[in-house]
A = this chain, B = another copy of it.
Amino acid sequence: MSSGGARPKVVVCKDLGPAMPPLLERKDVDIVVWPEDRSCERAWLLENIKGAAGVLVLLPDKVNQELLDAAGTNLRVVSTVSVGYEHIDVPLIGAERHTSWLYADVLTEAVADITIMLALMAGRNDGVAYTLVKNGEWCKPNLGWSPFTFCGPQLSTSLSSPTRTVGFLGFGRIAQATLSRLIPFGITHCIYTGSPTSQPDIARDDALQAKYNLKGLNRVDIDRLARESDVLFLLTPGGKETYHLVDAAFLRKMKPMSVLVNTSRGSVVDSDALATALREKWIWGAGLDVVEGEPAITSNHPLVKEPRCVMVPHIGSATFQTRLDMATLAIDNLIGGVFGGEMPAELKRPA
């Protein structure tokens, strides 16, 4: 440390609950924690980061020139409690002065879990059914049992529908964890569209097809993905390359009984087009953990008003276990960066 024998200062922009005690018990760092249960105030952060060797930030905390100038030359590490790093100006941090760590794998399982949940909820009319019970309407006499009341398309295969095709826009870790969970539902075919810049991996695909005893696992173009998927999962990065890939033209190609699930980034979907698709029954239903423009989603949002749209407020990784793992990993990254030790999840800077 440039401050000689003094303990390095680390600034933590959020009390990370059960992940905090191991950090707070350390004698070798001077820890400053934003004390309130809301996002860290910018003025507080700019004041407290002066001379810090490390800072632990969250999505709302922008890491830009202003923050780096306030920190000064002691700063060695920026660690964020997130997979995304849109809030960090990575080139500015640079390779020499500062280093930044993130992580990703840690939330794969939690997001795959909620992806399955949303596929089931969107197919099974669950939003409507749940709301009806909560409103005390289960007792209404017009709800007598009828063979097709509340029916939706079945995720699993059945006597009369012995094949099911799942589609993935993006086929990374979370997509593959989702596919593994779908296998016991009797899924028979898997198709996916990968990034145009990525190479097909036929050996990997053949191995997955054999492992899961699928009738087919194929990389396809986006047109075929739209046309053939019974359930379509969006698990692709955000950004310009995927902006509104799911638009009106895409949705018009989908099957009328298909279900769309988005647990990646809201910007992949044109919300107005999806609302139209649901209203005009181009597709059966949608399950969304992310929506373009979130969290500024009011009751007037066209998707909030669609009964066949199940939306939850970006809680894909929101389990105690995963958030504890995320926080612990962020703290490990922070301490590793401050002392030049092991950094479990370092962000690879663009070349």
Using CB atoms and an 8 Å cutoff, list the residues of chain A in contact with chain B. 14, 16-17, 19, 37-39, 58-60, 81, 106, 109-110, 112-114, 116-117, 120-121, 123-127, 129-136, 138-139, 142-161, 180-181, 183-186, 257, 294-301, 304, 310-313, 315, 318-328
Contact = CB atoms under 8 A, between A and B. Distances in A.
A150 B299 contact: no
B124 A120 contact: no
Contacts of A125: 315, 318
A55 B312 CA distance: 45
A16 to B, nearest CB: 5
Contacts of A311: 130, 133-134
Contact of A136 (B154, B297, B322): B297
Contact of A139 (B14, B181, B297): B297
B58 A156 contact: no
A325 B161 CA distance: 9
A186 to B, nearest CB: 7
Contacts of A312: 124, 126, 129-130, 133
B139 A295 contact: yes
A317 to B, nearest CB: 9
Nearest to A143: B295
Nearest to A120: B117
Contacts of A310: 130
Contacts of A155: 113
Contacts of A300: 136
A210 B241 CA distance: 45
Contact of A313 (B19, B121, B133, B325): B133
Contacts of A38: 142, 144, 146
Contact of A160 (B112, B148, B328): B328
A113 B148 contact: no
Contact of A124 (B133, B157, B319): B319
Q: What 7 A-B pairs have minimum CB-CB distances, sorted nearest first?
A: A136-B299, A154-B319, A117-B120, A158-B321, A180-B184, A138-B297, A109-B156
A120 B129 contact: no
B160 A321 contact: yes
Given A134-B127, A147-B81, A327-B147, A296 B139 contact: yes
Nearest to A319: B154
Contacts of A110: 154, 156, 158
B148 A320 contact: yes
A121 B124 contact: no
17 contacts: A14-B146, A37-B146, A39-B145, A116-B116, A125-B315, A125-B318, A136-B299, A138-B295, A139-B296, A147-B326, A148-B320, A151-B319, A151-B320, A159-B325, A160-B321, A160-B325, A161-B321
A152 to B, nearest CB: 6
